[in-house]
Structure 1
Amino acid sequence: MNSLFHQALQNPEKIAIVDQDNTYTYRSLTERARAIAAFLLNGKIDLNDSRVAYMVSPGFDYVSTQWGIWMAGGIAVPLCTSYPLPSLQYVIEDTGTEIILTGAEYEDLLAPYAVDPSIRFVRLSEGIPESDPFNLPTIDPNRGAMILYTSGTTSLPKGVLTTHAIIEAQISTLIIAWKWTSEDHTLCLLPLHHVHGIINVVSSALWAGATVEFMHPFDAKTLFQIFLEGKLNVFMAVPTIYFKLISEFESYSESDQRLLFSAMEKFRLMVSGSAALPVSVMEKWKSISGHYLLERYGMTEIGMAISNPYVGERRAGHIGQALPGVDVRLVDEQNAPIEPGQPGEIQIKGPSVFKEYWGKPEATAKSFTQDGWFKTGDIAVLDEGYFRILGRDSVDIIKSGGYKISALEIEEVLRKHPAIKDCAVVGMPNEEWGELISAVLVTDENLDLKLLSKWIREQIPAYKTPRHYLVLAELPRNAMGKVVKNELKALFLTVQQP
């Protein structure tokens, strides 16, 4: 990862991190990381790919810990700060973690590992001794660097192993595509156990020599106050955050709204990802900020692969075009190229694709074609040069009555109904139809579902209309804002249908 550390040497007095009103230069970040590396090595020459798990709040300590692990030759295993102990145990045990570093606020949660003789337990609250590190190991780019876990929305989470070279490829393509420079100032409010936060925001900014400000936890009012300070010019978030910001914006007076619009209009880039962005949210955000959000497509296994252009047309409902250095194709169920305009599975090849699922050689083999293409499981169509996602084959593609139907398309239509605040569509097993289209709605009103069915039949063909509805106060989501559709399917199985 020498390239990631390179900017720290170029302008050491530049502010790298803003963390709870404290500022840290690239020099202080590098010195802290090297001290952590020396402490982890504890006299060894190299950690030799030991898995080092760390549960540290977002900010300076988080980044310096991650860099220190890499400098010492360890494989970084970031732990989600909102997970309960059983979920953390799964990651720690699955990776065979040998060292755990914890911030003060997580010491009690992880306390059972403090007495585990097979694990070295490091409390950051006890301090890392200042040291003049001896020569740190030279790390081959093809060595393991990080294990991130998939969202686990369709099965148990799998550990995704990337190398230093793979991470460099994931970052460098974004530096080119999104025009990162050392003049940028961004804000990270995304979880740092996922690609979106670690790669797209933090690592890309630091690679470019930019400044990263951290916000934890998210608060819409506080975020808008930061916007008004005028320092930020790059912002990335998930659709649910944009939805909350829109709601907060609409509660303000007209004069305050004008001030915010003026502040946001000056940003050079605003990005949405990690979940499908409803067209309605994109259009509303444009009206309140002046920005047409840049939507992109990626996964834990591949980093980012497809993006709407930084300069040029950004199409609502589309994820864009292949990023530099990334090969993308659409294929049928036999991995054969599909006819133009037909739906097919997105498959990816290139230096940014992960190495393997940790400890799961069979799952790794099944995820690649014989000629080395990674099978994403996502279905898309190439629409006049731009990819448009139809959904995930196992979750969002409903096979009903001989048709393959996109749940995302139906959700987009339902969101146009004035009484529906949010929704999700799933396919429920049915002997006659294969799967029945079923919709979960979030609404403040007492909806007449018969009138809703009549309304939606006026919008889309009858075979695409939901047969069953369920009304909830909110949709279950994971840490990245993705709806957990398997939980919704379970609810349909247990709740009496209307």
Structure 2
Amino acid sequence: MNLPLITCAEEHNEKIAIVTDERAFSYRNLLHISSLIATGLLHDAEDLQEQRVAFLIPPGFEYVATQWGIWRAGGIAVPLCISHPRPELEYVITNSGASIIVAHPQFEDILRLIATEKNLRFILTSETLPNHVSPLPNVDIKRRALILYTSGTTGKPKGVVITHDHIQAQVTSLITAWEWTSDDSILHILPLHHIHGIINVLTCALWAGAECHILSKFDVETVWNRICEGELTLFMAVPTIYVKLIAAWEKASKERQKIMTAGCGKMRLMVSGSAALPVQVLEKWQSISGHFLLERYGMTEIGMALSNPLHGQRYAGYVGQPLPQVEVRLVDESGELVPPGIPGEIQVKSPGVFLEYWQNPQATDKAFRDGWFCTGDTAIVENDNYRILGRMSVDIIKTGGYKVSALEIEEVLRTHPDIQECAVVGVADLEWGERVCAALVLRSQRQLTLESFRSWAKEQLAVYKIPTRIIIVDELPRNAMGKVTKPKVVELFHIK
């Protein structure tokens, strides 16, 4: 029996599935190439039996065919981030226990070294595919499909395990709510190691038999050119991208602005997520595009939980109501339900909620209460709509659609030879949602510039985790117990 995603694709054989800078690929192409990739991965075995396959491939057809190939061979896909430095790639490969690494040639140098050191099977996407398809295993829908790494409140990222069943629940919920059809066409500009890009855009599009136009990298002019062509029906992005699109529109000539606005008008839906959307960005975008952006709320562990309606009233600053198949409740610190108008922690129950944190049963147990997933986010219900108030923990920073752990960054910064102590915080920012900032106490007689600090950090951390502002202080603000008081650190960045 095929996976439901494959069965859906077979109904759209001749339709265009993926469009890249180079060419268009049909669903038949995708099915055929992914079955050859699956054959190559199996390597005479009958079933990968949930072996983890880590893969690092730029956005495009090869990424999708490889992801599908891993699933069709019975493996668990572990997508790596193209902007991560070696220590972060190595952490994910090691933590997931990957036995196979698949890499695009541009990442060969960094990944072949890791594969050799760890004695892992290494495959380049440029290698010749098998010339025949061997029988592929029957993959049960309850099997693990995906491990995505997400920063928690403590240290290193945790692997969120999602089954094929969870993917089906998340995708069908969104297809119902946002009325996806095979006539849809979406531009994909989001990272492909993240739930937003993998599920909301890529998998929803392919499940529906729609066209997914994938850009190899985000470029604001290219995005506007695609919008101006008027072929797209859907667009999904994070607030940071809308800020950049607005800036480009404002710089354009009056004639060009008219064409840009007309291109937006051809679309049926524009969505913003992964971070809070500032109301002034929403209003500016509405004046440019005619679209009142649909805001929704979700996270790696649950997929999407809340959404403004496709039809009907949307409210600025609110994320709407529970999506189909999703139950949401707000509770106080003692776990009691709170009435409307009172803030509480968002807890979620749905068939899309993840299975477990990879090989971390303690963290998994801690994340659930009576079968409800505890998100760690605070919200309030007003006029039947949810408004997100922020993280319960000050140590999670949401920047440009990414969720990063301040504690993880601090751990890395403390290895800098000039830094004695540090505190990393998120400071509210119109473009990024929150900007990663660091207060540093230097060792005696040492100096540090932002430029030299950032060039050092680029070797250690993903670019979106690197503080964009630093301040040097004699000591960090602490409470009576000696614990750094993060709100006071945030205040330091507001003092001009």
| Structure 2 counterpart of 1:390, one-letter code | L
RMSD of aligned residue pairs (Cα, Å): 3.1
Say if 1:188 and 1:214, in contact at 8 Å, map to a contact too.
yes
Do residues 388 (structure 1) and 384 (structure 2) align? no
**Equivalent residue for 1:20?**
21
Tell me the distance in 1 between the aligned counterparts of 2:172 and 2:275: 23
**Equivalent residue for 2:83?**
82
Tell me the distance in 2 between the aligned counterparts of 1:139 and 1:233: 33
Cα deviation, residue 484, structure 1: 7.5
SS of 2:109's partner is: coil
SS of 1:62's partner is: helix
**Equivalent residue for 1:177?**
177
**Equivalent residue for 1:453?**
none
**Equivalent residue for 2:337?**
337
Any residues of structure 2 matched to 1:113-132 within 5 Å, and which? 113-116=114-117, 118-131=119-132
| Structure 2 counterpart of 1:381, one-letter code | I
Do residues 188 (structure 1) and 201 (structure 2) align? no
**Equivalent residue for 2:251?**
251
Cα deviation, residue 125, structure 1: 1.5
**Equivalent residue for 1:376?**
375
Cα deviation, residue 442, structure 1: 8.2
Say if 1:395 and 1:485, in contact at 8 Å, map to a contact too.
no
SS of 1:142's partner is: coil
CA 1:154/1:390 → structure 2, altered by over 3 Å: closer, same or farther?
farther
Say if 2:283 and 2:292, in contact at 8 Å, map to a contact too.
yes
Q: Any idea what the Cα deviations from partners look like across 1:368-413, whole Å, max 9, x if unmatched?
A: 00x110000000000110000000100289xxxxxxxxx99xxxxx
Tell me the distance in 1 between the aligned counterparts of 2:91 and 2:159: 10
Q: Any idea what the Cα deviations from partners look like across 1:314-340, whole Å, max 9, x if unmatched?
A: 110001100000000000011110122
| Structure 2 counterpart of 1:302, one-letter code | I
SS of 1:192's partner is: coil
**Equivalent residue for 2:366?**
366
Cα deviation, residue 140, structure 1: 1.1
Say if 2:84 and 2:462, in contact at 8 Å, map to a contact too.
no
Question: Would you say how many aligned residue pairs link Structure 1 and Structure 2?
Answer: 432
| Structure 2 counterpart of 1:285, one-letter code | W
**Equivalent residue for 2:98?**
97
**Equivalent residue for 1:417?**
none
Say if 1:274 and 1:480, in contact at 8 Å, map to a contact too.
no
Say if 1:153 and 1:485, in contact at 8 Å, map to a contact too.
no
Tell me the distance in 1 between the aligned counterparts of 2:137 and 2:75: 10
| Structure 1 counterpart of 2:138, one-letter code | T
Do residues 216 (structure 1) and 216 (structure 2) align? yes
**Equivalent residue for 1:43?**
44
Cα deviation, residue 122, structure 1: 0.5
**Equivalent residue for 1:268?**
268
| Structure 1 counterpart of 2:99, one-letter code | E
CA 1:334/1:23 → structure 2, altered by over 3 Å: closer, same or farther?
same
Q: Any idea what the Cα deviations from partners look like across 1:228-283, whole Å, max 9, x if unmatched?
A: 11111100000000000000000011111111111101100100000110000000
| Structure 1 counterpart of 2:148, one-letter code | L
Say if 1:191 and 1:480, in contact at 8 Å, map to a contact too.
no
CA 1:487/1:11 → structure 2, altered by over 3 Å: closer, same or farther?
farther
Cα deviation, residue 92, structure 1: 0.4
CA 1:278/1:265 → structure 2, altered by over 3 Å: closer, same or farther?
same
SS of 1:108's partner is: helix
Cα deviation, residue 3, structure 1: 1.5
Any residues of structure 2 matched to 1:43-82 within 5 Å, and which? 43-82=44-83
Say if 1:275 and 1:482, in contact at 8 Å, map to a contact too.
no
CA 1:300/1:177 → structure 2, altered by over 3 Å: closer, same or farther?
same
Say if 1:49 and 1:144, in contact at 8 Å, map to a contact too.
yes
| Structure 2 counterpart of 1:324, one-letter code | P
Tell me the TM-score normalised to structure 2 length.
0.81
Do residues 155 (structure 1) and 133 (structure 2) align? no
Cα deviation, residue 201, structure 1: 0.2
SS of 2:388's partner is: strand
**Equivalent residue for 2:321?**
321
| Structure 2 counterpart of 1:167, one-letter code | I
- Which fold has the larger relative contact order, with Cα–Cα distance below 8 Å and residues 6 or more apart in sequence? 2
SS of 1:312's partner is: coil
Tell me the distance in 2 between the aligned counterparts of 1:153 and 1:485: 21
Gaps of 5+ in 1: 398-406, 409-425, 427-436, 444-471
Gaps of 5+ in 2: 399-405, 407-424, 432-449, 472-485
Tell me the distance in 2 between the aligned counterparts of 1:346 and 1:441: 24
